[in-house]
Amino acid sequence: MSNKPRSPSRRDFLRQSMVAVPAVTLLGGSALAQSQNAATPVAGTTYSPRYFTAPEWEFLQAAVERLIPPNDDGPSAVEAGVPEFIDRQMEDTYGHGGYWYMQGPFAPDTPPTLGYQLRFTPRELYRTAIAAVDDWCQQQHNKKFAALSAEERDGVLHQLEKGEIKFDQMPATAFFTQLLTNTKEGYFADPMYGGNKHMGAWKMIGFPGARADYADWIEQPGKVYPFGPVSIQGDKA
């Protein structure tokens, strides 16, 4: 979570992260694997969030921009459209928790390996947790999260990741894990879901996308693939 390039490069880190995004996440399923209804907005239009309120939208943009900040390797999460991707998922079946069992009893202290144990759907988790983080930041820094400096936001995110911030209704680690997972999903998703604008993340890691025919390259191991990525809808980078 720094603007300064590091070694190994963010390119290598995100390439590994793409593989590491699980098919089943903390909330019971991947937004990418399960959500099929999010339509891409008309090119050139300014996106207005459908689910998140203005303060929540500010938080979301400020948070994901620190999880994947801009540098020479590739676009930041905001530049790639990750907030739009997450917002669209909140209004889809995934955001409403429609893919898994959401009835009690709930056991929030149960290890995550035994499945999702909170009463919140993804959209409820975001709404409740964002309010809790902003309240905590207001008490500790006299500012909401989005108004903090980059270094201060990094510090808050690290504390959420380690569970050092305590919320009344959920473990802070549960929210951080979901935020990070959805950020990586939106960063590498096909552009039809609202993220990965102009296939910037795919270009960064050399992923060819949804090209239909690789027959000419089967017998050329190790050779760099020279063509840019193609989206599911046929757009070319």
Q: What are phi and psi of 216, to 5 degrees?
A: -70, -10
Integer Cα distance of 218 and 102 in angstroms:
45
- HSE-CB for 207 with a 13 A CA cutoff: 22
Compute the chain's Rg from CA coordinates: 18
Q: What are phi and psi of 38, to 5 degrees?
A: -75, 120
pLDDT of 4-50, one tens digit each?
A: 444 455 555 555 555 544 433 444 455 655 554 544 444 445 899 99
Provide CB contacts within 8 A for 150, sequence distance 6+.
Answer: 3, 66, 69
Which of these, 163, 44, 170, 23, lies nearest to 107 by C-alpha position?
A: 170
**138-145, long-range: CB < 8 A, 24+ apart:** 144/55, 144/58, 144/59, 145/59, 145/62, 145/63
Q: Residue written as tokens 């990741």?
A: 161
* Residue 158 burial class via C-beta count within 10 angstroms: exposed 0-12, middle 13-18, buried 19 and up: middle
Under DSSP, is residue 57 helix (H, G, I), strand (E, B) or coil? Answer: helix
Show pLDDT as tens, one digit a residue, over the chain (237 residues).
444 444 455 555 555 555 544 433 444 455 655 554 544 444 445 899 999 999 999 999 999 999 999 888 889 999 999 999 999 999 999 999 887 777 777 766 666 666 667 788 999 999 999 999 999 999 999 999 999 999 999 999 999 999 999 998 888 998 999 999 999 999 999 999 999 999 999 999 888 888 887 788 888 888 887 888 999 888 887
Tell me how far apart the terminal alpha carbons of the chain are, to the nearest angstrom. 27
The amino acid that residue 62 corresponds to is A
